[in-house]
Structure 1
């Protein structure tokens, strides 16, 4: 019985520690607030972007800034990261 419980615990931890969870672009529920459409193709103008940026918690802003500093993470989100970095990662 202990072996079964240990196996279930290991599986639960493995599924909970999904590498995708480290990606703030998929985790952040507020990400759509930076876009004008539901498909997230059209970025809001800088004034709207800035308002959405400061509506985020300090922790989320730091996470997004760190992600935008990574070239691999920045590549699929060029315009978004350009705006983040233009704001200087202001926390």
Structure 2
């Protein structure tokens, strides 16, 4: 086996498994309900945010809380994570 075959194999593996690395905060389907606009720039008011968050399955809530507690992951989602923290996400 030569280096080209190894590199192509690694590239194929990374492309196939790339979706597995995406977290709960990276999924537009997960995040869209928390925003008031389709461009996902304006967060819902806290009362609506809480209702939306609490309507999510417990596993998704926990995944979001976990990712918001990770400093590197939460940085791009600072406003969202601040709302999650306000709902008790720092457990």
Alignment TM-score, normalising by the size of structure 1: 0.75
Matched residues in 1 for 2:19 and 2:88: separation?
27
Identify if the C-alpha distance between structure 1 residues 63 and 28 changes in structure 2 by more than 3 Å, giving closer, same or farther.
Answer: farther
Matched residues in 2 for 1:17 and 1:55: separation?
29
Matched residues in 1 for 2:79 and 2:19: separation?
24
How many residue pairs are counted as aligned between the two chains? 82
| Pairwise CA distance, 1:22 | 3.3
Moved more, 43-52 or 21-30: 21-30
For residues 8-56 of structure 1, give each alpha carbon's deviation from its aligned partner in whole angstroms, at most 9, with x where no partner exists. Answer: 9xx4x64332166332122361311100000110000100000110111
Unaligned runs of 5+ in 2: 1-8
Note the aligned Cα RMSD (angstroms): 2.5
Identify the residue that residue 43 of structure 2 maps to in structure 1: 43
Identify the residue that residue 58 of structure 2 maps to in structure 1: 58
Q: Which runs of 4+ in 1 moved over 6 A?
A: none
